[in-house]
Structure 1
């Protein structure tokens, strides 16, 4: 499945042209990033070693239930198709949300498994005259593309009202194109986390790092104990773009991050060289990566997680980088989040730790009473509350009770996400045209896979990135 993401950003109203930030706004962005990173660090530290499920119980000792907050029409006899790239547990959990919609409305909903890139998948469906009614799009660029192709339909009054009641302005804005609301960001992700095997760290005498240098020290300590430090799911190029984005945001800063995301500076810029050089401090050491570069490039994301938390205190790797959704895959092992599997914020490479997050937005492709009702439901705390209880999921919906999340680790991450308000930055590759930032075997995904294979070729990687970006952005 494709994971989404964003970080601290300066708020702009829909349709406002991008402007070069002033020194004042640059300082504000850096301050905001530092504040949110601090909140996240404190939150994760507070719950990293807890084996409590962390739920807030009601008077009878059971977890509080999410009360129905949204009124839905009866849709008996109506049918809907919903497409997303989600698989496995994530797909199964979302189907439970759809089942609740069916129960409340009488509609029949079919989940349609999509392939990455989903825009190409939808294009083939539309060309064949059989588009799904609603699609979950993992990139703001994909929403814009769907609007430009006249595929996407604006949200109606009820869905827009539900969004306004439950979402910060920033999360509303990233689902907006040309002043019209098209996307409901049903799912969010915190993509600035490193998960680790607690027993491996304890045996090695390693401690949670707060800086990049400390991360390298921890990696060497784990390596010296006889365990490979990192598991990398290099078969999925998006995991590599996430690595790059965290390093780049922290090292180059929010202003350059925004400019590179918009291709206002080239990928041949010295700041990109610096970030790739930093990444090579891990990727360039074959013994630091499970299976070496070749093995990593054959390891898909789910396996990169499970191999970190199976094998007792002798797993294939001691750490794995990725977002909060890693919990879904940890759940497929015997490891328990908070005790066997712990987490720390992605360490600071520059002045501040990075905070990158993302999300999947529900977009209507066939406008009808039923599709509008589903969008309204997905914008409500009712829908998000169902999936929150199942784990491996975060919602930007600020009215989902924190007690809905199943453990202390996830409750703290959810609170940090909501408390951040509009202070976040979206995954850079998800902001890019899909040909560059979201297509397997092409663009940024392929260039970084090649870089993982040969981390010495920094100049060649930059040249390839820039050529592909220029073509995709139409420069």
Structure 2
């Protein structure tokens, strides 16, 4: 699940209305859109709606934050017509609640067919793509230490050691948002065992703990998190630090060199960077010699709830047009897989990687594991793992890995 990162960017508490003004008698046609966004992202979405021009209906935006799944509940007297679902993995589980997408929309990457197309019918269209293998860093720190962005996992460990020895904390970790920990783990697992990763993502009853590569990924990840001096503020600060705070730690307070943060971090990076020119980005490196680098992908997907209306279909068509999102792209922190241009240099690189043939791309695994990947599943396992090993050295890893595997096995039942 990814909705928590929108909430921490400033969830809106009230219903916001966009488009044409509503009739004073409340009889005007309307389309209700449920979103998980808050703060800058919600404001940017309203600018996108404003750019659509005059509509024959009102668009009512309902910001649900972490409760976005309630959009599929039966309690609401006025359920949303259109849901911006931040978990594409939920689409197959809600097919009976969804209407097919309108025909003739802009073609997305075939990567999406696995989740969004069923029996030849498309039930979702990506609105906003997320590149979850991006690491933002301060180039000046690397230059001062004579370092380059890492090309492999061993390189990354070497970079971290060199920074720590120079008195610089390498990593700022937003462990307060558990999905950041799952993103880290997913990149490692995908990098060392793509077939296992894909198998877990598509299994009817996944059992991650039964795969030896699950423990192997924990050990590799543990080598980074357990290294003394690796985490800014140590485990204590990491555990309470949320996504924007971790970015500010690097670029505002400058107490760390880098942070794992998706493309949607860009507005926070730009807003708080003490030196706007001291911003760099590299992507998760290869985990094995000669192996491709992992690329974990997420998205906000448009889905139509049953029963739908012609107005809701019209809004989907308008929002699916490649040019519709220009206002958001201009603000930063937005990627879509139907275009490669118009982004900042950093996001252009991410967009090109998402479009490159032969890349090792997979969807966010925790979103596809259901309850096994949620707050009480993989997130909790990784949080407890971090507590056991954070900054304590490699000697603690064997026992901590065994405990994490056992804990995951209990979750699986």
TM-score between the two structures when normalised by the length of structure 1:
0.74
CA gap of 1:421–1:277, structure 2 versus 1, over 3 A, is closer
* Separation of aligned partners in 2, 1:245 and 1:392: 22
Show the counterpart of 1:96.
47
Deviation, structure 1 residue 436: 2.3
**C-alpha distance in 1 between matches for 2:195 and 2:99:** 33
Cα RMSD of the aligned pairs, angstroms, is 2.4
- CA–CA distance in 1 between the matches of 2:273 and 2:56? 38
Which of residues 298, 317, 333 in structure 2 aligns to 1:358? 298
- For residues 237 and 368 of structure 2, the distance between their equivalents in structure 1, rounded to whole angstroms, comes to 29
Residue in 1 aligned with 2:62? Answer: 112
2:383 matches 1:449? yes
CA shift for structure 1 position 416: 2.9
- Among 188, 191, 203, the residue aligned to 2:129: 188
How many aligned residue pairs are there?
Answer: 378
Cα distance change of structure 1 residues 317 and 184 upon mapping to structure 2, 3 Å threshold:
same
Please give the alpha-carbon distance, in whole angstroms, between the structure 1 residues aligned to 2:326 and 2:283.
25
Separation of aligned partners in 2, 1:171 and 1:384: 19
CA distance in 1, matches of 2:356, 2:292: 18
User: Equivalents in 2 of 1:391, 1:272: separation in Å?
Assistant: 35
* CA distance in structure 2 between the aligned counterparts of 1:336 and 1:172, rounded to whole angstroms: 41
Counterpart of 2:404 in structure 1 is: 461
Q: Are residue 168 (structure 1) and residue 109 (structure 2) matched?
A: yes
Is 1:320 aligned to 2:249, yes or no?
no
1:43-95 deviation line (CA, Å, top 9, x unaligned): xxxxxxxxxxxxxxxxxxxxxxxxxxxxxxxx993212211211221221111
- Cα distance in 1 for residues equivalent to 2:358 and 2:286: 22
Distance 2:238 2:59 in 1: 38
Q: What is the 5 A alignment of 1:45-124? A: 77-101=28-52, 103-116=53-66, 118-119=68-69, 121-124=70-73
Deviation at 1:136, TM superposition (A): 1.1
Tell me how far 1:264 sits from its aligned partner. Answer: 5.0
8 Å contact kept, 1:234–1:299: yes
Check 1:284–1:269 CA distance in 2 against 1; reply closer, same or farther (3 A cut).
same
Write the distance in 2 (CA, Å) between the matches of 1:421 and 1:92: 36
Residue 290 (structure 1) aligned with residue 232 (structure 2): yes
Contact 2:295 2:359 in 1 (8 A): no
SS in 2 for 1:105: coil
Which residues of structure 1 form unaligned runs of 5+?
Answer: 5-74
Matched residue SS, 2:229: helix
Query: Which aligned pairs between 1:101-250 and structure 2 lie closer than 5 A?
Result: 101=52, 103-116=53-66, 118-119=68-69, 121-124=70-73, 126-147=74-95, 150-155=96-101, 159-163=102-106, 166-250=107-191
Structure 2 CA distance for partners of 1:184 and 1:221, relative to 1, 3 Å: same
Cα 1:79–1:181 change in 2 (3 A) is: same
Over 3 Å counting, the alpha-carbon distance change for 1:145 and 1:274 in structure 2 is: same
Deviation of 1:336 after TM superposition, in Å, equals 6.1
CA-to-partner distance for each residue in 1:254-310, whole Å, 9 max, x for gaps? 211111223555423221111101111121235211121121110011111111101
| Residues 354/421 of structure 1: CA separation in 2 closer, same or farther (3 Å cut) | closer
Higher relative contact order (CA 8 A, sep 6+): 1
Q: 1:112 to 1:129 in 2, by over 3 A?
A: same
Larger displacement relative to structure 2 (241-250 or 457-466): 457-466
- 1:404 matched to which residue of 2? 342
Separation (CA, whole Å) in 2 of partners of 1:286 and 1:292: 9
Question: Residues 205, 421 of structure 1: CA spacing in aligned structure 2 closer, same or farther, 3 A cutoff?
Answer: closer
Q: Does the residue aligned with 2:299 lie in a helix, a strand or coil? A: strand
Cα distance change of structure 1 residues 362 and 316 upon mapping to structure 2, 3 Å threshold: same
Q: Secondary structure at the match of 2:251?
A: coil
- Counterparts of 1:330-409 in structure 2, within 5 Å, are 330-335=269-274, 339-350=277-288, 351-365=291-305, 366-397=307-338, 400=339, 402-405=340-343, 407-409=344-346
Paired residues of 1:168 and 1:422 also in contact (CA < 8 A): no
Residue 108 of structure 1 and its aligned partner are, at CA, apart by 1.8
TM-score (norm 2): 0.85
How far, CA to CA, are the matches of 1:191 and 1:368 in structure 2? Answer: 34
SS of 1:81 mapped into structure 2: strand
Q: Residues 265 and 320 from structure 1, CA distance in 2 versus in 1: closer, same or farther, beyond 3 angstroms? A: same
Quote the residue 1:274 is aligned against.
216
Question: Which of 259, 266, 291 is equivalent to 2:199?
Answer: 259
Q: How many Å separate the matches in 1 of 2:182 and 2:160?
A: 21
Superposed CA deviations along residues 133-187 of structure 1, whole A, max 9, x for unmatched, are 211112233112222xx322222xxx33114xx3233334432234321111011
Cα distance, 1:384 vs. partner? 2.8
Query: CA–CA distance in 2 between the matches of 1:117 and 1:285?
Result: 36
Kindly state the Cα deviation for residue 245 of structure 1 after the two structures are TM-superposed. Answer: 0.8
Equivalent residues of 1:3, 1:359 under 8 A apart: no
